[in-house]
Amino acid sequence: MMVEIAIFFLLIFMIIGMLFVLEIENLLSAVVMMGAIGFGLSVIFLLLGAPDLAIVQIAVEVISVVILIRATIHRDIKERADESLSNISSIPLLVCIFFFFLMIYPALRLLPTFGEPVFLNFYSSSVYYLRDGFHLTGAPNIVSAIILDFRAYDTLGEAIVLFTSVIGALSILRYRNRKKEHNAS
């Protein structure tokens, strides 16, 4: 029940973050907020018991945020020079940081103690994969059997996340190059 509540609040945080992204004027702030939303999704993956998807999501978010910041930093620096710093309020940022740590706390509590073996539990999926993997799949390589037979949807989801991230980064970088070419001519 606690996991469902944490996921619910994370989804609310992500929806509010998306509304901020849609309404915020500063492009760099929107990119950072998109990164926070992606990290919220990785915490949801952890809560749902898919650490492999969480790791892929974090990797994709880091790469995407770095690429998007690089693509927007030049434009955003010009906008910031025109703004006055007195108009910027840090209250929404502090509220977002507070809710982020509030939402990540249940996920951190579910992690095992450092050094405690988690795969020795009789009901864990790793024991099931090792015990029955060869008989159920016929694959002598248990890693391939897990990735392609037991966790095929997770693998498909990871591939979709990576593909979408690359397409988004390419579209933003191409838009920037087209805009430069248009301004040059």
Count CA within 13 A, CB hemisphere, residue 12: 11
Per-residue pLDDT at 86: 46
**pLDDT score at 123:** 63
In this prediction the pTM is 0.47
Q: Is 180 helix (H, G, I), strand (E, B) or coil?
A: helix
Q: What is the per-residue pLDDT for 85?
A: 47
- 161-164's contacts with Cβ under 8 Å and 24+ in sequence apart are 161/53, 161/56, 161/57, 161/60, 162/56, 162/60
What is the rounded distance in angstroms from the CA atom of residue 35 to the CA atom of residue 137?
Answer: 38
Chunked into runs of 10 residues, the chain (185 residues) has average pLDDT values of 84 87 81 88 85 83 84 64 54 81 82 69 72 85 82 82 83 71 70
Contacts of 28 (CB under 8 A, 6+ apart): 69, 72, 73, 76
Q: If DSSP codes are grouped into helix, strand and coil, which group holds residue 18?
A: helix
Structural contact between residues 95 and 20, judged by C-beta atoms closer than 8 angstroms: no
Contact (CB, 8 A) for 30 and 69: no
Virtual torsion, Cα 41, 44, 49, 53, nearest 10 deg:
0
